[in-house]
Structure 1
Amino acid sequence: MALTTANLRRVSEGCADGEKRHGRFMYKTDDTKAQVETNGYFDAAAEHFTEGVGDVLEVITDADGTPVLHTYLVTRTAGGIALTLSVATAAA
């Protein structure tokens, strides 16, 4: 399937970095994790994300089956969107 921009919501803004304010976004889809992580999946929504690195995107995949929440760090370069899956680390 393809991105449904109506399902993408900015839910908060984070700390300021000069003039930029990084945001936190939510997205819900029936698509699988593999589909969402395909290169270019979020490119149509590039204008929603902060230029550069720093936005957090929480995605619920497989909403029509067994929903799973994934958290990503968003990188926006040259109009394209790349996702880096967040990996939890244990406290020291």
Structure 2
Amino acid sequence: MNHSKVSQEVESLQRDIDILQKLLGQVKILLSSMPAIETVLRKDRDEDPQKIVDRHIKLLHTYNESKDAAQAILGRLAAIKQTTVAQIHEEYDLPLQE
């Protein structure tokens, strides 16, 4: 591969890393909202049980979608950096478990 192509590839990868790092910041914000979700789940214990179940299901779907997106981003970032997802978690001070 010639120098020009290598430079272009490096620039492309750097743009990918920049985008993924911005997305990772957004994921961190989503994860930081989890305590608020837990608060909602605990409130109104006297509420109609079906309403509580429906709300919990909706919140769990939102959580799972956010977590799946975060894992995809972390996986892509790990691939770009040629490292493991566990190392990305460590680098960005993210928990390895929920």
> TM-score, normalization: structure 2?
0.23
Instruction: Tell me the TM-score normalised to structure 1 length.
Output: 0.24
Q: Which has the larger radius of gyration?
A: 2
Higher helix share: 2
